[in-house]
Amino acid sequence: MRLFCFPFAGGRANTFSEWEEHLPHVVEVVGVELPGRGLRFAEPPFTRIGPLLDALEPSLLSLANVPVLLFGHSMGSLMAFEMARRVQQQTGQRNPVGLFVSAQPPPRFRQEVDEPSKLSQKELLERLSLPPEISKNHELLELLMPVIRADFELTETYHYVEGPRLACPVAAFCGTRDQSAPASMMQGWNEVTSSDFRLFEIEGDHFFLNEMRQPLLRILKNETLRIKGTLKN
């Protein structure tokens, strides 16, 4: 199975670089590197989700010759969900076999969001709570801020369009102290699938992805094994 992982705003594919060693050996982890960062630093970042997925879809579909799983955190959850819909349409429900969404309200019930992409750099840094080695590195911030603003604009301008439910199981993750995506809100992801839905609360705030990586990966390991077991039938 291939697990495609979509990062949070400002995030990179290397967030998921060590995940594979903690998951079943049958799972290959593919961190999705978005334009404007890492090896794709010279490419301008996208500010709309549709054109970004248009650009990513051919490469991802070329790797969908095995069972496909998708994971996204925060902004990445919207990308993973919309890509899952595209993959299902293109493969006739053969793929994906599972979707994992994290720290992001479900698309149908997303509330009106403010526009952090238009905040001053100081206000944006306060909201992001970046580690000191980044927030105090002015040269690094100068490189990162356009990407972060573009990512926030991508999320702000996202609009859910009604469509067929996913045929695969969906699992949602939320931090116990994450006020932006509490368990009561994350439960709404059950409406995007006609298959099984499971919700997991993990100790932590919005970035439990980093703070509580081991508990998250233990659950992902169990979930991928559970999905693998269903594929034998």
% of the chain surpassing 90 pLDDT:
70
State how far the Cα of 36 lies from the Cα of 41, in Å rounded to an integer: 4
Selection from 166, 23, 17, 163 nearest residue 95 by Cα: 166
Q: What pLDDT is attached to residue 211?
A: 85
Q: Are 80 and 116 in contact (CB under 8 A)?
A: no
Q: What pLDDT is attached to residue 139?
A: 78
State how far the Cα of 6 lies from the Cα of 174, in Å rounded to an integer: 16
State how far the Cα of 148 lies from the Cα of 7, in Å rounded to an integer: 12
Q: What pLDDT is attached to residue 140?
A: 75
Q: Which two tokens stand for residue 205?
A: 């705030």
* Positions in the chain short of pLDDT 50: none
Q: Rounded to two decimals, what is the model's pTM?
A: 0.91
Q: What pLDDT is attached to residue 111?
A: 54
For 43-79, the pLDDT digits (tens) are: 999 999 999 999 999 999 999 999 999 999 999 999 9
Give the active site residue among 17, 62, 74, 194. Answer: 74
Active site residue 74: yes
Q: What pLDDT is attached to residue 131?
A: 55
| Ordered structural domains, the chain, with CATH | 2-223 (3.40.50.1820)
